[in-house]
Chain A
Amino acid sequence: MNDNKIIERLNRSFEYLSGQSIRIMEVCGTHTRAILKSGIRYILPKEVLLLSGPGCPVCVTPESYIDIAISISDIKDVILVTFGDMMRVKGTYNSLSDKKAQGSKITVVYSPEDVLNIAVNNRDKLVVFAAAGFETTAPLIAVTVKLARSRGLDNLFFLTALKRIEPVIRFILQDERNKINAMICPGHVASIIGAEHFRFITEEFGIPAVVCGFESQDIAAGICLLLEQLTGKRRVEFMNLYKRCVSSTGNAIAQRMIYEVFDTADGDWRGIGTIRNSALVLNDKYEQLDAAKRFEIKTEQYSSAVNCLCSEILLGLKLPKECSLFGSVCTPEHPTGPCMVSAEGACAAYFKYETYFRFGGDGRNG
């Protein structure tokens, strides 16, 4: 289908709605951003709500993790290394960015390869890589761990906050409050673990789900097929519309990397709590590279009391505009909650691409 045909068909699918309210969750932060950037909300009827899920790694990284990273950065002779979007997330009191401004040795990297170079060039220092992400990031971190070992870099340690997406999707679908009717599955994670991995959404929970890409027309096609299923125009099924990147079984090499280096464990999610088997942690073979163990830091989860709605937003219960802090107290420049920090956080994306908060409309009228 070309772009015009997709749009025509999407428009036709709106006619089948007959007033029923539809709540579609896009799990992945990159989708949230792509959706807002595509302007598609402007052409969707009011009955169709797109809800952002917990698929932005920065947004679900708990305060306790940031606090630990900060305490490690305070240790003499430590260089803390991290990806850029982690810098501005607040722990209980401070962000890594605040600490860097106060003089802590914190370096932003763009690829795990940079981390290895920093470790090689600073053999007299202890380098700690604070790495957060989902199954998309995990293989890269796994390769870095293996290279650190094979190159004998005994000064490089890992403070990971790596998460699995499946357990949190189950957690959300088991929560009846959010009334989610359909799901757009995370395309990037699917490319690693395989599209089939998400079939359970339809089979166990009975709702339509699509794996789709990130271009405007991918998203339009995904929403169109979900609406057709939800309005009885086609049977409810799980569909992979992103076959150009996602196979049914995924990337076997990347999967092997993950399971050679990590075990699953219970994981802490900001604003959500602990979810069973949702984290990837260094396994026995590589636990000497675990920074928390190296520095004997006790990990316990806690949440600070922020009166914003990030947690409800991540769980598909609320939209950013329903938060009283959104756009007034909480902005990308001065984020209160984690959903405003990352460019892929729901609040940051809504703030950037939609205007209703400025002119009192709902975004559809510009």
Chain B
Amino acid sequence: MQHTLSMKLTSGLGEMGEMDEKIRLSHGDGGVETQRLIKNVFYQHFNDPLSKSMPDSFVFEARQNQLAYTTDSFVVKPIFFRGGDIGKLAICGTINDLATAGATPLFLSASFIIEEGFSIEKLHLIVKSMSDICRQTGAKIATGDTKVVERGSADGLFINTSGIGIVSEYYKPSQVEPGDEIIVTGGIGEHGASILLDRYDLGIETDLESDCAPMCFLINGLGENLKHVKLMKDPTRGGIATALNEIAAEQKLDLELDERTIPVKSEVQAIGDMLGIDPLYLACEGRMLIVVEKGCGEKVLHHIKALDCCREARIIGQFTSGHHGMIYMKTLIGGRRIIPILEGQMLPRIC
């Protein structure tokens, strides 16, 4: 599978005809070469008048609505993985953080820390996938920055993005109560499993791809039904187990999952079994956990499943009356076990 990827890259290089061009320290010194890099790479893809005037700060009119503001840094290894790359991840990650607040993205910033010697052609591919997601979602890159560090001071490329979004008037997060239902918007662990496949040559042939995708469509898709939503969280590092443990601890409520209802692709399960990793702990980058008020689960689920990105959405459990902040799971054979917080390091640098 890594072969397919490198072939894609190579053919990309061929088309652009600049086989050997690498990032040099001078690309980051603020001089002529920096300007050239910004013009030839970033402006070419972020084809937006906003980002071309190059002010030190971007100025915009604040509207009446509530605004959400977030930031995230991305250091994924490998930089290109099945179903995406660090650029796609950096835009989706920030858009998804905004979505957890019920917000659709307005403006994003994008800052690059590039290791000397990084391929400019790879940078093109990465910046292009960032701009593709911006086009799909209507998010605009309003400002950015580029730094180049000496060889060995960074691992290829790190990206930071921040974002400002408009919060839906219908979304009013509130206290979670026993009986409230939990929805996951699609199959779990596909990003984490994909990274594992690309990181360690496991010799598995599969079409599995990262689920990396922008979740802002959920906000408009739910529209007025957001009023039934009490809380949203994107289950990235540590997967749904970690995200749900955080929610349970914060809300001081127990919750019970039903193993039969949790959507896990058989490939993800198989990779997890091979490496001894439970898919519940594998990262998602295009999924949302949604806590819905008691009795409204099916109704909200119906609207979620109508969205292209959420066809596999399921109700996976509900909060119970216990106050230990623990997660239990009803197992396939009717047994019961806890879903603990992850101990120790499972996977380095997956996002």
Contact = CB atoms under 8 A, between A and B. Distances in A.
Nearest to A343: B276
A36 B337 contact: yes
B138 interface: no
A332 B340 CA distance: 12
A355 B328 CA distance: 10
Contacts of B331: 37-40, 216
B324 A359 contact: yes
A366 B343 CA distance: 21
A221 to B, nearest CB: 10
Interface string A327-366: 0000111000000000110000000111100110000001
Contact of A3 (B324, B333, B338): B333
Interface in B312-351: 324, 326, 328-338, 340, 343-344
Given A359-B324, A366-B328, A352 B334 contact: no
B200 interface: yes
A41 B338 contact: no
A38 B332 contact: yes
Contact of B337 (A6, A220, A354, A359): A354
B333 A217 contact: yes
Main secondary structure of the interface of A (DSSP, over half): helix
B326 A217 contact: no
A353 B202 CA distance: 28
Nearest to B273: A214
Give the bracket for the number of chain A residues in contact with chain B. Answer: 20 to 34
Contacts of B328: 366
Contacts of B202: 110
B333 A216 contact: yes
Contacts of A216: 331-333, 335
Q: Interface centre among B276, B328, B329, B344, by most A CB within 10 Å?
A: B276
Contacts of A354: 337-338
Nearest to A352: B340
Contacts of B337: 36-39, 42, 353-354
A7 B202 CA distance: 35
Nearest to A10: B333
A245 interface: no
Given A110-B200, A355-B326, A42 B336 contact: yes
B344 A7 contact: no
B282 to A, nearest CB: 15
Interface in B165-184: none
Interface in A96-119: 110
A37 B330 CA distance: 11
A129 to B, nearest CB: 17
A36 B329 CA distance: 12
A43 interface: yes
Contacts of A359: 324
Nearest to B278: A37
A40 B332 CA distance: 10
B328 to A, nearest CB: 6
A38 B337 CA distance: 7
Contact of A39 (B326, B336, B343, B344): B336
B76 to A, nearest CB: 19
Interface residues of B, number: 20
A330 to B, nearest CB: 13
Contact of B338 (A7, A220, A353): A353
Contacts of A355: 326, 338
Contacts of A353: 337-338, 340
Interface string A205-229: 0000000000011001000000000
A39 B332 CA distance: 9
Contacts of B335: 38-43, 216
A39 B324 CA distance: 19
A226 B343 CA distance: 35
Nearest to B320: A366
Interface in A187-245: 216-217, 220
Contacts of A39: 329-331, 333-337
A7 B260 CA distance: 15
A359 B338 CA distance: 12
B40 to A, nearest CB: 37
Contacts of B200: 110
A218 to B, nearest CB: 10
A136 to B, nearest CB: 13
A43 B334 contact: yes
A242 to B, nearest CB: 15
Interface in A306-337: 331-333
Contact of A40 (B329, B333, B338, B344): B333
Contacts of B333: 3, 6-7, 38-40, 43, 216-217, 220
Nearest to B340: A352
B324 A333 contact: no
Contacts of A41: 335
A206 to B, nearest CB: 30
Contacts of B326: 355
Nearest to A219: B333
A352 B276 CA distance: 14
Contacts of A332: 343-344
Nearest to B277: A343
A216 to B, nearest CB: 4
A331 B338 CA distance: 16
A6 B335 CA distance: 13
Contacts of A344: 276
Nearest to B260: A3
Interface string B222-263: 000000000000000000000000000000000000000000
Nearest to A217: B333
Contacts of B324: 358-359
11 contacts: A38-B332, A38-B335, A39-B334, A41-B335, A42-B337, A43-B335, A216-B332, A343-B276, A358-B324, A359-B324, A366-B336
- Lowest 3 A-B CB distances belong to which pairs? A39-B335, A39-B331, A39-B337
Given A3-B332, A7-B334, A353-B340, 8 more contacts: A39-B329, A39-B330, A39-B331, A216-B331, A217-B332, A332-B344, A352-B338, A359-B324
